[in-house]
Amino acid sequence: MAKSKHRFVRRLRHSAAYILFRALCVCAGLLPRRAAELAGRALGRLFWLASPKRRRRATQNIQWALAGQLTKKEMARVVKQSFIHMGLTAMETLWADKHDDASFEERFPVEGVDAVKAELAKGRGVLAFTLHLGNWEIFGSRMARVFGEIAVVALPGKNRSVSDYIVRVRERMGLRVISSEEGVRPMARALKNGSFLAILIDRHVDAASVRTKFFGRDAATTSIVAALARRLDVPVFLGYSVRSGHSFRHRGFFEGPLELIRTHDHESDVRANTQRFNDRLEVLVRRHPEQWLWIQKRWKLAKKLRRERQRREAAEAADPAEQYGQN
């Protein structure tokens, strides 16, 4: 009975969220660009005010990552700015879905495209890893205009109605969406067919992950990029965008092809290369902290390991014989 009630409440909440989301989509489509920029900032501020739990998580994450580098006042500013940036990202993505903007290429120049094109011209796939910085959704749309249809890996959201609509938005932008639930085979197939494949790697994952360091703390990071690059011998690029102020203007960047560690030890290579990828992302987040998605549960692994260590220490304290050995 309790489970049935819980499912009903969850469905009700998801339905209400979907209705609000679609209303936001309609509103975004009716606005001119300047008004949409203002609305995006307002949406971010509203999210900041209405989400104390996520605000606390973002604050805690910044304290863990940037302790000693920013004052409390500066950290609070970064938290608020990151929420405003989220609002801009959401509004911009929904606005772009309804507008064929002639100024898109002028508003979103991209550096390093020629190096990617040169690799694609060889008839083999190109693998790019990226992060939740700038506007990763619009960056994908921009790349689709440059390279033709590109494949992206996405994790379905808990609200399937909203998630399915976002997939349709991405497809209208020229992206071929591969669900992470489908496993690695569709990704490998895309690369073998000579496609450009982009994967976000700055979030916690349980499956197909390796233990890495991110801002000096343990973090589970997907091993798929390093594993596919080694297995299929495809070039790897870092791709990302950076927003200009509080506008819908960006600059995109590609770095690579990156030099990877390749030895006889597959597992060791995957771990080492994934750590290298994380190190590059950390540099970008430090450079643009207000534009990263701090509300993520990026350090779930660190929390889990800390709890396990605390339980082990408590057990040893309770039983000194285990700590010092039986006499």
Kindly state whether residue 145 falls inside one of the protein's structural domains: yes
119-158 residue pLDDT tens: 999 988 999 999 999 999 999 999 999 998 899 999 888 8
Q: Where are the alpha helices (DSSP H) in the chain?
A: 2-30, 33-50, 52-66, 72-98, 104-107, 113-120, 136-147, 160-172, 185-192, 224-232, 266-287, 300-318, 320-324
Q: What pLDDT does 7 receive?
A: 76
Residue 107's domain spans which residues?
Answer: 2-307
Q: How many domains does the chain fold into?
A: 1
SS3 110: strand
Kindly state whether residue 318 falls inside one of the protein's structural domains: no
- Mean pLDDT of the 47-62 span: 96
Q: How confident is the model at residue 5 (pLDDT cuts 50, 70, 90)?
A: low
Backbone angles phi, psi at 181, to 5 degrees: -70, -15
Single-letter residue type at 84: I
Kindly state whether residue 90 falls inside one of the protein's structural domains: yes
Check whether 268 has a pLDDT greater than 70. Answer: yes
Q: Which comes out higher in pLDDT, residue 308 or 269?
A: 269
Q: What pLDDT does 53 receive?
A: 96
221-258 residue pLDDT tens: 999 999 999 999 999 999 999 999 999 999 999 999 99
Kindly state whether residue 228 falls inside one of the protein's structural domains: yes
Kindly state whether residue 16 falls inside one of the protein's structural domains: yes
275-326 residue pLDDT tens: 999 999 999 999 999 999 999 999 999 888 888 888 888 887 876 655 555 5
Kindly state whether residue 312 falls inside one of the protein's structural domains: no
Kindly state whether residue 259 falls inside one of the protein's structural domains: yes
Task: Return mean pLDDT, the chain.
Answer: 92
Kindly state whether residue 320 falls inside one of the protein's structural domains: no
